[in-house]
Amino acid sequence: MEPESKKTKVLDNGQSNATTTAIDDLSKFEFVRVLADHSHKKVVCVEGRLKDKEGKAVLWLDKPPFSEDVIKSLCTDKSKLKVAFINDIFGSYSAIVDPDLNEIKTTLIYPATEQHIQKFLQKPLYVVEETPECYRDITLPFIEEEQFSVDWVYNILDGKKETERIIFEDKDDATGFTLLPDLKWNGKQTVDLYCLALARPRGIKSLRDLRSEHIPLLKNILDKGRVSKIEIFFF
């Protein structure tokens, strides 16, 4: 799960709701700095501000994978090529294509806290072997002190928000969960379909909190979640 601050408003691709700060173009977003640039994923995260508004904002830009329909639409005389170089059988070009084919998946977080900035800021990665003792004495106290509010999760589980995005719902208090597409998915091609399963039992902060009594819950998520995705997106 990706918890957001209680005050965070998420705007996805210009679609707004009653609690969102809606903008209809990016001229209102004032660039401050690049927080992270994942070129291999075609993703960039930017810190900025909204014009005439107080507080920081985070903008997440994600270039979706090419679908078959997009590829077919590219192969027309509207796609102009500029030659970079020709060498034997290899030709390198820059393609100038129809703006409709240049969609970028966009997520706006506003107002963004310093926790959000630090979360998205690109940092060196380290591999650490975490023992149960390390989790109990170091990680768990950090999670409890620094964690974002998870009200956004409870709003979904309680049916207060994002009801139109729910794929499947099992309301059993012990083994139930709610399945919905993650904001990372653009809602179009299934090649990059990415869903989020929110468990109804509360208090599970991480994998470390899972116990043998959670096995029925995990099996339920695996079995019903997989079937629901197949039924909705592939039939």
Q: Is 119 found in the same domain as 46? A: yes
State the residue for tokens 């601050």: 5
State the residue for tokens 């700095």: 33
The whole-number pLDDT of residue 13 equals: 42
Does some domain include residue 120?
A: yes
Choose between 224 and 227: higher pLDDT.
Answer: 224
Q: Is 169 found in the same domain as 216? A: yes
Q: Is 39 found in the same domain as 7? A: yes
The whole-number pLDDT of residue 234 equals: 57
Q: Is 54 found in the same domain as 6? A: yes
Residues in a beta bridge with 195: 181
- Measured distance CA(75)–CA(6) in Å, rounded: 46
Per-residue model confidence as pLDDT tens digits over 27-60: 999 999 999 998 888 899 999 999 989 999 999 9
Does some domain include residue 135?
A: no
Residue 227 has pLDDT above 70, yes or no: yes
Q: Is 217 found in the same domain as 118? A: no
Per-residue model confidence as pLDDT tens digits over 183-218: 777 677 777 778 899 999 988 888 888 999 999 999
Q: Is 174 found in the same domain as 122? A: no
| CATH number of the domain to which 179 belongs | 3.30.428.10
The whole-number pLDDT of residue 235 equals: 52
Does some domain include residue 136?
A: no
- pTM listed for this prediction: 0.54
Residue 3 has pLDDT above 80, yes or no: no
231: tokens are 């039924």
- Mean of all residue pLDDT scores within the chain: 83
- Measured distance CA(34)–CA(120) in Å, rounded: 10
The whole-number pLDDT of residue 5 equals: 37
Residue 142 has pLDDT above 60, yes or no: yes
139: tokens are 């990680």
Neighbours of 193 (CB within 10 A): 16
Q: Is 111 found in the same domain as 22? A: yes
Q: Is 79 found in the same domain as 110? A: no
Does some domain include residue 48?
A: yes
- DSSP assignment of 173-189, as one string? TTT-EEEEE-TTS-SS-
Domain count of the chain?
Answer: 3
Q: Helix, strand or coil for residue 158?
A: coil
| CATH number of the domain to which 60 belongs | 3.30.200
Pairing of strands 105-112, 29-38: unpaired
Enclosing domain of residue 19: 1-64+103-127+142-148
39: tokens are 């070129």
If pLDDT is split at 50, 70 and 90, which confidence band does 6 have?
very low
